């Protein structure tokens, strides 16, 4: 992709259905090299309110937004099942894209998005904030350097308290619990941890899972546990629940040369790390000692979300490749859909079995 020489870069927002759009705009409105230009939302009141909050123009016609010469890139934060439809229009207009997770609700829609992005040549990036977290980046650095040797297992506990909101069914976020718009809560939230595991270890080959409603009946599911296997026989356990009052979203990675333990990671139910407690540490077999990675954990989940726009914009400006492509986004969708199939059928499912 060629660098974008426009300064400031004009940004449009397609729907404020997903709450993360607010965090991205809240951050970008303070960037000198960005101008929040216009927003479209099929919920006019929601769109007008958000546009006013961020000093943007509200446009009731999406095509009118996409036709504007002062907009070079858009954020797609509509309901998940509409991503393919909107991205097709954005690609046709030649605008660059930051897409909220998950990429789509079906593999067929994922493939449709990939084809549209490839055909148009626009810069496309998934909004996975876990890849923007300095603690997670340190984990990636340690793994890539070989500090753990051969990795045998990974466990990720990823927790939110979303379904304990008594007003959820009547709130603007109710679409998250609609199986057509969003599959289920494991799909919606575990996709973060799935992408994290894929980023660290590559694409797994199979999964065994249990996904069900355990503590609530508000959504299609509230808790899931998935056991993934990689080509080198490594195992990865992904625990995800939307009914955790509090948690420490832990990551554990075990290799034959070392161990990584991380606590207080990304999640709305995660408390701030206590003073003096290292949120990340590495044990090396070669030294027999722990190494602590001292870092000030962000004060809230909202603060973590605000880390997403800057690297995306920097890639746009420099012409660098996308950090998380549409093909990457497809992998985490496949990982979650395979887990659902395993839970339904009570057996190990190979990701290669999945159909569109």
304-348 tens-digit pLDDT: 888 899 999 999 999 999 999 999 999 999 999 999 999 999 999
Tell me, yes or no, if the two domains 9-129+306-322 and 131-299+334-353 fold the same way: no
**What confidence tens digit (pLDDT) does each residue in 245-294 have?**
988 889 999 999 999 999 987 777 676 777 778 889 999 999 999 999 87
pLDDT at 93 over 80: yes
Strands of 116-250 (E only): list them. Answer: 124-127, 151-159, 206-212, 223-229, 235-241
The residue-averaged pLDDT of 79-92 equals: 98
Q: What is the pLDDT of residue 64?
A: 98
Q: What is the pLDDT of residue 348?
A: 98
**What confidence tens digit (pLDDT) does each residue in 104-124 have?**
999 999 999 999 999 999 999
**What confidence tens digit (pLDDT) does each residue in 57-82 have?**
999 999 999 999 999 999 999 999 99
Name beta bridge partners: 258: 284
pTM: 0.95
Report helix angle 134-144 to 185-201, nearest 10: 40
pLDDT at 355 over 90: no
pLDDT at 298 over 80: no
Q: What is the pLDDT of residue 217?
A: 96
The H or E element that residue 283 is part of is strand 280-284
Sorted by where each begins, the domain ranges of the chain are 9-129+306-322, 131-299+334-353
Q: What is the pLDDT of residue 278?
A: 85
Q: What is the pLDDT of residue 7?
A: 85
Mean pLDDT rounded to a whole number for the chain: 94
Phi, psi values for residue 188, rounded to 5°: -70, -40
Residue with tokens 């289920």: 184
The rounded distance, in Å, linking the Cα atoms of 29 and 36 is: 7
- Fold classified for 9-129+306-322: Rossmann fold (3.40.50)
Query: Is the CA virtual torsion 176, 179, 183, 184 positive or negative?
Result: positive
pLDDT at 227 over 80: yes
Residue with tokens 């605008």: 95
CATH (residue range 131-299+334-353): 3.30.360.10
Q: What is the pLDDT of residue 248?
A: 83
């Amino acid at each position: 992709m060629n660098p974008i020489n426009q300064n400031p870069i004009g940004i449009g927002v397609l729907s404020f259905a997903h709450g993360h759009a607010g965090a991205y705009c809240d951050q970008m409105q303070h960037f000198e090299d960005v101008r929040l230009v216009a927003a479209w939302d099929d919920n006019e009141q929601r769109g007008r309110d958000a546009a006013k909050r961020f000093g943007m123009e509200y446009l009731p016609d999406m095509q009118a937004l996409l036709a504007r010469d002062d907009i070079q890139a858009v954020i797609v934060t509509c309901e998940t099942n509409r991503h393919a439809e909107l991205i097709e229009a954005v690609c046709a207009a030649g605008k660059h894209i930051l897409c909220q997770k998950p990429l789509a609700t079906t593999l067929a829609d994922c493939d449709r998005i990939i084809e549209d992005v490839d055909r148009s040549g626009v810069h496309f990036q998934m909004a996975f904030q876990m890849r923007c977290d300095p603690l997670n980046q340190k984990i990636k650095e340690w793994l890539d350097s070989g500090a753990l040797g051969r990795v045998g297992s990974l466990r990720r506990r990823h927790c939110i308290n979303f379904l304990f909101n008594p007003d959820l069914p009547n709130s603007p976020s109710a679409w998250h619990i609609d199986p057509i718009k969003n599959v289920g809560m494991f799909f919606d939230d575990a996709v973060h941890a799935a992408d994290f595991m894929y980023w660290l270890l590559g694409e797994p080959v199979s999964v065994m899972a249990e996904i069900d409603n355990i503590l609530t009946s508000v959504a299609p599911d509230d808790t899931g546990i998935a056991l993934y296997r990689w080509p080198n026989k490594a195992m990865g356990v992904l625990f995800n629940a939307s009914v955790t009052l509090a948690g420490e979203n832990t990551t554990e990675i075990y290799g034959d040369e070392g161990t990584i333990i991380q606590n207080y990671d990304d999640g709305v139910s995660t408390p701030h790390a206590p003073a003096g407690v290292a949120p990340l540490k590495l044990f090396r077999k070669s030294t027999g000692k722990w190494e602590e990675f001292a870092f000030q954990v962000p004060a809230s989940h909202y603060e973590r979300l605000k880390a997403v726009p800057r690297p995306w914009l920097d890639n746009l400006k420099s012409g660098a490749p996308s950090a998380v492509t549409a093909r990457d986004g497809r992998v985490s969708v496949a990982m979650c859909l395979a887990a659902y199939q395993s839970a339904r059928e009570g057996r190990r499912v190979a990701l290669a079995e999945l159909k569109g």
